[in-house]
Amino acid sequence: MHTKIYSVASINIDEVYSVPHIARAGETLSSTERQQNAGGKGANASIAAARSGAAVHVVGKVGDDGRWLCDLLQSCGAHTEHITVDSSSMTGRAIIQVDAQGENAIVLFPGANQRITGEEVQRALGGARAGDWLMLTNETSAVAEAMEIGHARGMRVLWNPAPMQENAGKLARMADVLVVNQTELQGLASHLGLEHADDTEMAEQVMQELKLHVLAVTLGGSGCLGLVRRPQENAHEIHTADSDVKQQADR
């Protein structure tokens, strides 16, 4: 039996506006270009995994305006039978300003992403087996329910806790793989009451406290930091084309 990935996914329509600078308070600004794309951390991750050949089952919700997103996910190889179309809601949207330097500002409308119910997740995960993957972000409703169901079934849980909420420290204890940025790492460390000096020490403490198998921390232009739990106590650094990825043992 092949391992499956169940992705409780945020599915958005991204509206991207090119602007000379990010709009200031009270300012009306004309854009030079507009693009509409598929978005949402969960949808993007699902597409990437499906294109890599994984068996991805997407659990989500869109409005009538997002039916084309289901078609797109399906065309990329993802299974969409667990995506519900809610005619009483709008699909989630992100309004994104991008300036000439590539900096951005984003306004997020959760829409149907926040209408996913625990019962829908329970049904979708009914066929999941121990060893299957559960992939989530914090951009949908029913995250806690999904993690509890996945953890109870022996699934491996990969979680990106953005946007960070007060229950992040509690939920993170059910994760096997955690993906955060620097700000989220700091917030998680604070939730857990951990003291830290720098990103590496902070990541090591979070890794140990939560008993994670993998902790990935994105560092913006500085690359990323990756900690992997292994039985032997050694560490080495892997140089990649895009960034330096450090793998350190959880001692």
pLDDT at 239: 45
Token pair for 131: 């060893």
End-to-end CA distance of the chain: 34
- Burial track 209-231 (b if 16+ CB lie within 10 A, e otherwise): bbebbbbbbbeeeebbbbbbbee
Q: Of 93, 67, 86, 73, give the one whose Cα is nearest residue 5.
A: 73
Confidence of residue 110 (pLDDT cuts 50, 70, 90): very high
pLDDT at 250: 39
Q: What is the mean pLDDT of residues 198-208?
A: 91
Read off the pTM. Answer: 0.86
Helices (H), strands (E): how many in the chain? Answer: 7, 14
